[in-house]
Structure 1
């Protein structure tokens, strides 16, 4: 499960190279239920694409400076830390991405720390739905666990310094994110902001045009990997509830320069539902009203135009079908 912490705030550290000297890294990965036949390891001015071999293992040797990196299967991603002459053996199950990452070998303690920290981050995000007092308790426990875990380990000194700075940035961001989520929750039951966006089929479409039906909105972009990963699930949802009292609306927040790319993508992929193009990317009034700072983002509106959920379940989540079954059947 990929959360905002890796894709948003903490990506900065993954692109920070600490050392300048290049040292050979031996890397292998065995991934169950893989999403792709290639893995990509990326850092500042560095990119290594690793194809799967005939034994269904990702194997590569490469030179890379010491520092933070991201590995990605094209759908999800996670951070790792490479040190001189490391031997990195990764195992995981892509269906439980962060939860199953384990590194063995030489020079992998820092990478295992990052994997465990990601889980702590995700657990805190789950607390965003809690009241302020309960969240404060969870937040303090999270901060304490981060510090204690860092102090107990035998980590590279430069890694420790970088993570201490990382913690400060994370804590500030998490506080802001909790406030954003709290404000979004207050929109539930209230009239949704309207939009008036270009329709892929021609003309424009307003949210108010769809009153009388539930509206499930997908905020996405052609460049967004997690957004594209949800498309097959959304298509199945659209098929299942075809003819029901619901409209499925996808709103692209692509830049204006990518308008033609959006049009071609929708056509080539034969995307269903109502396909719209935001009038001002992330800065459109509709998007900012919901304080969207990451995509994909899903919103559910009732037939009167009121907000049912300002941060609805994804198409890939069984929770969405349960909710739609309860209101449409």
Structure 2
């Protein structure tokens, strides 16, 4: 398809309202709709009425399509991201803690700065540059205290890992040379090292999606996690599910939480959320029809 210059003008809120009404979207409360346009933006909201379009090229809605339905999807997605973010925090902190403990005991407190421990020295140097920038920008009290007392350009891993991003953490693990320590860390989470590295990369991507308040519920993931090789704990029996859909990511979270906290309520909380928003089709998120019969997801 030949590309053309973008030439659509900016529309007023009133014009945006008129446009969606002309295209067939029912607006039960126009004042509320105008307020949401102002607070959320037309483009963000349009991602949630996209499933209601009959003609996606010309943006014509299916008969009977209501903004109430679209905004319900919006609210579901927001609560889903909040739920995922809360559980991802537990996983991220646990990964940091285990990397610190295992690798510091095996290679010393400054293992993360030793380029000989990494496969690609260029990638390692880029990661260290990012960590150095984060260290220099940090105004955390414990970082200020370290800079005041010590001459080292960077702190030991147990200090540094309190300020580095999850992305840098994932890059350090994935670039770390294969061996006993790398396998030990993955094994603690019930995985082989390649699968664990792939899952970390995917979780960083999903975390960024949530941090930028982007759509998660029906997303097709750009970063696709691998299918685990011989998982040590209960995994999905249905191997035909797509690994680029939200269901697969949520299954990864459930699996990893089992390694951290057998009393977690993520499965129950997600089921409550799906019941609360009964207009949401789990199939649009990649859920197979028999997902609740999966031992991984069956909490009864």
**TM-score (normalizing by structure 1):** 0.23
Compare relative contact order (CA 8 Å, sep 6+) and give the higher one, 1 or 2: 2
Q: Which has the higher strand share?
A: 1
**TM-score (normalizing by structure 2):** 0.24
Which entry has the higher C-alpha Rg, 1 or 2? 2
Q: Which has the higher helix share?
A: 2
